[in-house]
Amino acid sequence: MKQFPNRVVLDETHTPKSWYNMFADMPFEEGEDAFMLHPGTMQPAKPEDLYPVFAEELCRQEFTRERHIEIPKEVRDYYLSYRPSPMYRAYALEKLLDTPAHIYFKYEGQNTSGSHKLNSAIAQAYYNKKQGVKRLTTETGAGQWGTALSMACAHFGLELEVFMVKISAQQKPYRKAIIETFGADITLSPSNTTNAGRGVLENDPDNPGSLGTAISEAVERAVTSENTRYTLGSVLNQVVIHQSVIGLEAKEQLGMYDVYPDIIIGCAGGGSNFAGLMSAFMGDRLTGKAKPYFIAVEPAACPSMTRGRYAYDFCDTARVTPLAKMYTLGCGFMPSTIHAGGLRYHGMSPTLSKLYHDGFIDEARGAFQSEIFKAATIFTRAEGILPAPESAHAISAAIDEANKCKETGVAKNILFGLSGHGNFDLGAYMQYMEGNTHDYAPTDNELEKGFASLIKTNS
Amino acid sequence: MKQFPNRVVLDETHTPKSWYNMFADMPFEEGEDAFMLHPGTMQPAKPEDLYPVFAEELCRQEFTRERHIEIPKEVRDYYLSYRPSPMYRAYALEKLLDTPAHIYFKYEGQNTSGSHKLNSAIAQAYYNKKQGVKRLTTETGAGQWGTALSMACAHFGLELEVFMVKISAQQKPYRKAIIETFGADITLSPSNTTNAGRGVLENDPDNPGSLGTAISEAVERAVTSENTRYTLGSVLNQVVIHQSVIGLEAKEQLGMYDVYPDIIIGCAGGGSNFAGLMSAFMGDRLTGKAKPYFIAVEPAACPSMTRGRYAYDFCDTARVTPLAKMYTLGCGFMPSTIHAGGLRYHGMSPTLSKLYHDGFIDEARGAFQSEIFKAATIFTRAEGILPAPESAHAISAAIDEANKCKETGVAKNILFGLSGHGNFDLGAYMQYMEGNTHDYAPTDNELEKGFASLIKTNS
């Protein structure tokens, strides 16, 4: 076996030319393919039902069982400005932990948006541009998706309106600034420019906003404006497909050194990052070629996989979107804003949810803030990379697994996804250093209130 | 000629194994080698004179005429975690400008500290560690150097005290946070922990601090504490040597595609970034192999090359350091804080100064803030990378040169240095978008006041 360098960066000729769609290899039971229900009829949704909302090719990708989807030249050209992303061996962290484990991480933070979100943003912008769409809408909370999409729209010459949660814009003025530097328009949500926003403001003029309301406003704007479509940065299978580029590269990078991961760890909010990292390895598992152990890490504050239910639920709180079959806390669940960073979504990608439900994802864990910032600080000092709080969930679990290896003496290969950098999250790091980080998990009563918002369906 | 990709990332086997020292090829006249004068005797300083301040090997590097200095394995190993840094062809910017020019840029922002400063920080930390030094001191204003050195010290297990200009710490709390996350101690300057700081506070208890005072405090702490040394992130020839890794890589990356730059552009504050980028190309020019055109871009607000004098001057305002022969505005010159970002230093690297004085650097230009933020915004939208305000000085000149190529129809190869990202400078971008960016250049009277601080020497 060749010595693994600190960092492996593939030559561009090795970047994937196609995305991989896990749907192609996932076992579906008869009639189990209805991932989405039309919110009006409660009947299985078809690609055409989504045409007013998303670009047509993206609607097609939402349902297709095609195994490989060619990455368009325009998208791949842009990928090559920041991809292939580097694969690191965390030698310094291993030494610090005194573990026999080999720890690898795939780093998606080396682009201005700071995270993996750009992988799908550039694809979604491209397909909309190709269809002749002039203007996109979206929402953003933590800001990674809004930044990524503003980059993509600047590149393809598309207009963009970002509905930014009002309280987030106040807490993260720099995120707002970078999105505006890329030329996008920001509307603070709730706004008085949509029915959804006005409805909220009538009841509560000082409402600080929520991701749910922002989604409702962005969707409403898209379907009521000419030549305008909506985009979403996670949850959907189209996004999972685009993010497969992470895992395809990761498998090739490790393969060059005859390394195959025993354990694969990712943080999971909407699920797109972990789904992307696992893709090629999960393909091996679905087809019986290998059996790595998959661990999803979510915030204890928003525990959709660890404490949620597998059910059809709305993707937003205002109940205007299709229903998706997923692990969910109920669209009425209000995630605590105590928890820093993203990963505050009531549901989980239907693709990831099914893989978990069917036992292909082995384990889901909840992590507290104090744990993840402790892990982030250890990692930063050892490896010299400041992780996003989201990514720190994965680091925390990777350290736990490496410590187990120390106890057992077994030298496992641990791969985790470092989905983004924390350069825009230093306010949260400051709170941690000042001792103002609070751990939180919803009570059973709070969860029950969320579950009460789940509607009855036939499934 | 092979088609140049968007981005070229060298294989690690191509990373330089030695730094290149321009001193080896620069023509010196008899007796002209006295770059530094001892502040007590005003006689030429020797390496040993600097031992109380810097690690011994660094003192040696300050004076040596050796052409190639081997990069120690420990330093190169760390380099490989973020180097070789990528070389980009700015296709989107070329298209936007409709220029026949080919625009290339070398990007040093892909590490957590966000700039090229890490290249020297890791080397300086290593040589101190090797010598048995336990604790380093330094100062930081804009924060790039402090962040880089805190990363390097965390890696090698060295203690670090950063004297941070008080007003900078208030304006950039996130820079303070990231330095502390890496485990360094921050002392706000002026402080009451040094004679230099107390002296300032006695006269002016509300003094907001300056880089000059912070340097004096950091040097004082180093020379009065056990097993402690001081480090400086620019100006010195040791730093210029370490930064040569940028230019060595750049030449190899362009050479793979048979490209040689006609014009090479860098921003210049203390000069380490531009000196690093130019190194290998300047070596060609000094030895008659090629004659690229070199342009240094500095703020009009702090015009050491464009309006300064070539003289021996102190490196700090408190006059405790050796004197260096350089282009300077006088150590008593107070750069306006109106100008965003770094590049606010009264002097210029003696190495760069001599190259400019001897005609090897062809041109120096001053740039106003409105120009550089306009260029930065154009670049960000086209290329998807948010530049540091410092780096935007180089972008502004590159755009000007590309526009000249459009007028003349000549397809020149333009290379500029993108020394860092602007993720920590979004406050300045916000000011620009809000129309609160002010252009400023010192009056002749203000310059004369600075020059009056120059002392008379024999040179």
Express each pLDDT in B335-360 by its tens digit. 777 666 567 788 999 999 999 999 99
> From CA B53, how far away is CA B208, in angstroms rounded?
26
Q: Residue B458: pLDDT above 60?
A: no
Question: Cα A324 vs. chain centroid, distance in angstroms?
Answer: 16
Question: 3-state DSSP call for residue A312?
Answer: strand
Which residue out of B4, B158, B174, B180 would a mutagenesis test of the A interface target, given it has the greatest number of A Cβ atoms within 10 Å?
A: B174
Integer Cα distance of A230 and A80 in angstroms: 26
Please report the pLDDT score of residue B342 as a whole number: 67
pLDDT (tens digit per residue) in B33-80:
667 888 888 899 999 999 999 999 999 999 999 999 999 999 999 999
Closest CA to A85 of A69, A52, A109, A63: A109
- Interface probe for A, chosen from B95, B112, B431 (most Cβ of A below 10 Å), is B112
Q: Which of B108, B149, B112, B375 is nearest to B243 (CA)?
A: B108
Tell me, what's the pLDDT at A340? 62
Quote the DSSP letter at residue B99.
Answer: -
pLDDT at position B389: 93
Classify residue B64 by burial, with Cβ atoms within 10 Å: 0-12, 13-18, 19+.
middle
- Residues from B contacting A (CB-CB < 8 Å) are 5-7, 9, 11-12, 77-78, 80-82, 88, 92, 110-112, 114, 151, 154-155, 173-174, 177-178, 180-183, 377, 380-386, 421, 423-424, 426-427, 429-430, 433
Partner-chain contact A377 B112, CB within 8 Å: no
Going by the DSSP 8-state scheme, the letter that residue A339 receives in this structure is S
Instruction: Give the pLDDT confidence of A354-370 residue by residue, as tens digits.
Output: 999 999 999 999 999 99
Residues B172-228: tens digit of each pLDDT: 889 999 999 999 999 999 999 999 999 999 999 998 888 888 999 999 999 999 999
Give the one of A11, A154, A424 whose C-beta lies nearest to B381's C-beta: A154
How far apart, in Å, do the first and last CA atoms of chain A sit? 50
Residues in chain B: 459
Taking all residues of chain A, what is their mean pLDDT, rounded to a whole number? 93
Chain B residues touching A12 at Cβ < 8 A: 5, 7
pLDDT grade for A459, boundaries at 50, 70 and 90: very low
Q: For the sheet with B263-267, list strands across it.
A: B7-8, B87-89, B102-107, B413-418, B263-267, B293-299, B363-367
Residue A28: strand, helix, or coil: coil
Weakest mean pLDDT among A263-277, A317-331, B358-372: A317-331
Task: Kindly report the nearest CA distance between residue A229 and chain B, in angstroms.
Answer: 21
Please report the pLDDT score of residue B459 as a whole number: 46
* B173/A430 Cβ within 8 A: yes
**Chain A: which residues have CB within 8 Å of chain B?**
5-7, 9, 11-12, 77-78, 80-82, 88, 92, 110-112, 114, 151, 154-155, 173-174, 177-178, 180-183, 377, 380-386, 421, 423-424, 426-427, 429-430, 433
Average pLDDT over residues A431-444: 92
Q: Are A119 and A243 in contact (CB under 8 A)?
A: yes
- Helix ranges (H only) for B64-210 are 73-79, 91-97, 118-131, 144-156, 166-171, 173-181, 195-203
What pLDDT is stored for residue A97 in this prediction? 98
Mean pLDDT over A408-421 rounds to: 97
| Surface-to-core class of residue A357, CB atoms within 10 Å of its CB (0-12 exposed, 13-18 middle, 19+ buried) | middle
Centroid of chain to Cα A103: 22
What is the pLDDT at residue A48? 94
Average pLDDT over residues A14-29: 94
| Predicted-complex ipTM score | 0.94
Q: Which pair of tokens denotes residue B448?
A: 């004369």
Residue A1 confidence (pLDDT): 67
Q: What is the Cα–Cα distance from B144 to A424, expressed in whole angstroms? A: 16
Nearest residue on chain A to B422, judged by CA atoms? A112
| Structural contact between residues B292 and B373, judged by C-beta atoms closer than 8 angstroms | no
Partner-chain contact B384 A82, CB within 8 Å: yes
d(CA A396, CA A106): 15
For the segment A1-10, what is each residue's pLDDT rounded down to a tens digit? 688 988 998 8
At B421 the pLDDT is: 95
For the segment A303-354, what is each residue's pLDDT rounded down to a tens digit? 999 999 999 999 887 788 889 999 999 988 877 776 665 677 889 999 999 9
Token pair 């709170």 in the structure block, residue: A431
- Chain A residues closer than 8 Å to B381 by CB: 154, 181-183
Distance from CA of B166 to the nearest CA of A (A): 18
Tell me which chain A residues have a C-beta less than 8 angstroms from the C-beta of B12: 5, 7
Report chain B residues whose CB lies below 8 A from the CB of A386: 112, 178, 181
Q: Tell if the CB–CB gap between B386 and A9 is shorter than 8 Å.
A: no
Task: Report yes or no: B404 and B95 within 8 Å, Cβ to Cβ.
Answer: no
Higher pLDDT, A208 or B249: B249
Amino acid identity for residue B272 in this structure? S
Is the confidence at residue A418, as pLDDT, over 70?
A: yes
pLDDT greater than 90 at residue B155 = yes
Alpha-carbon gap, residue B121 to B115, rounded angstroms: 11
The DSSP bridge partners found for residue B310 are: B327
pLDDT of residue A342: 67
Mean pLDDT of the region B316-326: 87
- CA distance to partner chain B, nearest, from residue A343 (Å): 22
Report the pLDDT value the prediction gives residue B340, as an integer from 0 to 100. 62
Nearest to B377 among A81, A155, A181 (CB): A181
Contact B384 A80 (CB under 8 A): no
Considering only alpha carbons, which residue of chain A is nearest residue B111? Answer: A385
Residue B293 and residue B410 in contact, taking contact as beta carbons nearer than 8 Å: no
Chain B residues with CB inside 8 Å of A92's CB? 155
Between chains, do B5 and A385 touch, taking CB under 8 Å as contact? no
Structure-block tokens of residue B443: 């009056």
DSSP state of A67: S
Structure tokens at B16: 């330089």
Length of chain A: 459
* Mean of per-residue pLDDT scores for chain B: 93
> Which residues in chain A have Cβ-Cβ distances shorter than 8 Å to B395?
none
Closest C-alpha among B377, B391, B403 to residue B85: B391
Chain B positions touching A89 (Cβ under 8 A) are: none
Give the whole-number percent of chain A exceeding pLDDT 90. Answer: 79
Q: What is the dihedral of CA A169, A170, A175, A180, to 10 degrees?
A: 60
Write phi, then psi, for B339 (nearest 5 degrees): -80, 125
Query: Percent of chain A beyond pLDDT 70?
Result: 97
Of A7, A112, A173, the CB nearest to B81: A7
- CB environment B106-144: b (16+ within 10 A), e (fewer): bbbbbbbbbbbbbbbbbbbbbbbbeeebebbbbbbbbbb
Cβ–Cβ gap B380/A112 under 8 Å: yes
Is the confidence at residue A457, as pLDDT, over 60? no
Report the C-alpha gap between B213 and B112 in whole angstroms: 27
Q: Is A181 in contact with B386 (CB distance < 8 Å)?
A: yes
Instruction: With CA atoms as reference, report the closest residue to A167 among A150, A187, A197, A189.
Output: A189
Predicted confidence at residue A338, as pLDDT, reads 65
Question: How many residue contacts between A and B have a Cβ separation below 8 Å?
Answer: 117
Which chain A residues are closer than 8 Å to B77 by Cβ?
A: 6
At B248, the pLDDT band (50, 70, 90 cuts) reads very high
